[in-house]
Amino acid sequence: MAATASTLMGSPWLRIRLLPEVPPRLLLRPHLHRRTFSARAAAAADGGAGGAGPVRVRFAPSPTGNLHVGGARTALFNYLFARSKGGKFVLRIEDTDLERSTKKSEEAVLSDLAWLGLDWDEGPDVGGEFGPYRQSERNSLYKQHAEKLMESGAVYRCFCSNEELEQMKETAKQRQLPPVYMGKWATASDAEVEQELEKGTPYTYRFRVPKEGSLKINDLIRGEVSWNLDTLGDFVIMRSNGQPVYNFCVTVDDATMHISHVIRAEEHLPNTLRQALIYKALGFPMPSFAHVSLILAPDRSKLSKRHGATSVGQYKEMGYLPQAMVNYLALLGWGDGTENEFFTIDDLVEKFTINRVNKSGAVFDAVKLKWMNGQHLRSFPPDVLIKSFEDRWKDAGILQESESGFAKEAAELLKDGIDLITDADAALSNLLSYPLHATLSSDEAKPVVQDKLYEVVSGLISAYDSGELGEALAEGRDGWQKWVKNFGKSLKRKGKSLFMPLRVLLTGKLHGPDMGGTVVLIHKAGTCGAVTDQSGFVNLDERFRVLKEMDWESQRKEQESPAETAELSFVP
């Protein structure tokens, strides 16, 4: 034990105090059970290794499903901490749940991490000095350390049946006590153990927990956390089928892989007590711990599938950018102390510190994530953004090969309203469409209709039939601006009373991007040959045919007659 204490206290980033000191030989006596334990672990405030060796962190997913955004954030914080400290980021697969773990899930998790740009230094696919990196391939290591604990007296064989264990739980419940192990095998004689071994009775390895004492750790996020040992009871580290239990695997893995900092979700905080006891018994120095709060849904419950998309793969399929996901996930519980919210991954590596991670839960806001995706999308170099939109529109069958420059103009016009690359299809299709009848029939259009819309229609049709409007649009935005100014003067209209009617009549909509750019692009779509027949495009000739077929005279009479109160109707 003296050697153990020396090992623990020799780490510059960990100071642990043991009171009282237990003589080494006592651990070899399986009958002794009333040990006391008091430990206090502390780490540097900034989470650094303090000269004790390189920073080594790990992300250890279970390949039993998709990578949840909460897991992705944990991986990100580990990655940023390692990179900011010049350390190593280790990927370990915790696949001891043999029934639920699948190779497909493992591949999906690795693919999602790679998509996010979180490259790992060691892992199942790249190897490393401390492999293997799948728990299912490390069984011999677990058995080796379990036998070491058995030899030291830190664990014992427990032959209790499931029925006996259930009875203990029921008894504890009736007495209103913690459900701790109360079986006889902690103090059984060698003869009793040999008798069960000869009969072939199945047994587990159960860890001896001191009956008195406490454990305190200085969590890098949550501050001081403590537990009383009398609520724990002896716990299993190896099942009767020879399979190790999670807490034992994790401790052995983290210790033998020289993990310096364990950054994980707060739901693992209760596991720290069992793991600390195992560290101490095996003589391993404990790492620093940092437990990150859960990601919450808008109703502040734990984020789950019932709240919508929760996996990284889902967001990837929906068209989100990895840069935006990384940026947004970093802000769920962390900030650099400024108002800035836009970060590249290099920015995050430079600015990330563990002591700025908030211990309260962070709410996942899908609306803000989408907004942030738009910010990153529009930060692309112009030629990259245009090419992305153009490829998308061609794949969707909206555009075809053309040297007209139509895609460039469309991208520049529409980009501010597109937050997801997958929204580009709908944005262009909407611009090319002409839902005039539906718009005029809506309640929102009533003020525009009632502002003598028929008057604008008459002048607009005349301008188109004379070729005046077409010539202006052929000159681009400058031509449009000159024409619309003169048109407004001829009708004695300006501002909203001029532009709202023109938007409705020419685009068929009440809202949209810059109207001049829109109308010029609609004109170009009808002449450049870039738009496909199946795009749903309605050209200007067709739009004016619709306008001419509508009964504007009836509308004029209804508005000019004070006695008329009937709803205006627009039918050909």
Looking at residue 309, its pLDDT comes to 72
Looking at residue 21, its pLDDT comes to 33
Looking at residue 100, its pLDDT comes to 87
Which residue from 283, 268, 282, 276 is spatially nearest to 216, judged by alpha carbons? 276
> Residue 420 contacts by C-beta under 8 Å, 6 or more apart in sequence?
318, 319, 320, 370, 373, 374, 377
Using the structure block, give the residue that is written with the tokens 């950054």.
263
- Which residues on adjacent β-strands are paired with residue 39? 215
Q: Is 311 helix (H, G, I), strand (E, B) or coil?
A: strand
Residues noted as catalytic: 305
Given a contact cutoff of 8 angstroms between Cβ atoms, the answer to whether 357 and 77 are in contact is yes
Q: Is 90 helix (H, G, I), strand (E, B) or coil?
A: strand
Tens-binned pLDDT, residue by residue, of the chain (572 aa): 333 333 333 333 333 333 333 333 223 333 333 444 555 555 555 666 544 679 999 999 999 889 999 999 999 999 999 999 999 999 999 998 878 889 999 999 999 999 999 999 999 999 999 999 999 999 999 999 999 999 999 999 999 999 999 888 888 888 888 788 888 899 999 999 999 999 999 999 999 999 889 999 999 999 999 999 988 889 999 999 999 999 999 999 999 999 999 999 999 999 999 999 999 999 999 999 999 999 998 888 888 767 767 899 999 999 999 999 999 999 999 999 999 999 999 999 999 999 999 999 999 999 999 999 999 999 999 999 999 999 999 999 999 988 889 999 999 999 999 999 999 999 999 999 999 999 999 999 999 999 999 999 999 999 999 999 999 999 999 999 999 999 999 999 999 999 999 999 999 999 999 999 999 999 999 999 999 999 999 999 999 999 999 988 888 888 777 554 444 455 55
> Residue 484 contacts by C-beta under 8 Å, 6 or more apart in sequence?
498, 499, 502, 516
Determine which helix (DSSP H) or strand (DSSP E) holds 568, and give its type and residue range. none
Rounded distance between C-alpha atoms, residue 119 and residue 393, angstroms: 32
Rounded distance between C-alpha atoms, residue 351 and residue 80, angstroms: 9
Is beta strand 223-228 parallel, antiparallel or unpaired with respect to 212-219? antiparallel
Looking at residue 48, its pLDDT comes to 61
Given a contact cutoff of 8 angstroms between Cβ atoms, the answer to whether 420 and 370 are in contact is yes
Given a contact cutoff of 8 angstroms between Cβ atoms, the answer to whether 422 and 314 are in contact is no
Q: How large is the angle between the packed helices 496-507 and 515-525, nearest 10 degrees?
A: 30
Given a contact cutoff of 8 angstroms between Cβ atoms, the answer to whether 142 and 238 are in contact is yes
Tokens (6 digits) for 279: 């560290």
Looking at residue 20, its pLDDT comes to 33
Q: Is 354 helix (H, G, I), strand (E, B) or coil?
A: helix
Domain 136-292, CATH: 3.40.50.620
Residue 479: Cβ within 10 Å count: 18
Given a contact cutoff of 8 angstroms between Cβ atoms, the answer to whether 132 and 140 are in contact is no
Looking at residue 33, its pLDDT comes to 39
Tokens (6 digits) for 375: 């910010």
Q: Is 43 helix (H, G, I), strand (E, B) or coil?
A: coil
- Alpha-helix residue ranges (DSSP H) falling in 54-102: 69-84
Residue ranges of domains in the chain: 136-292, 431-560
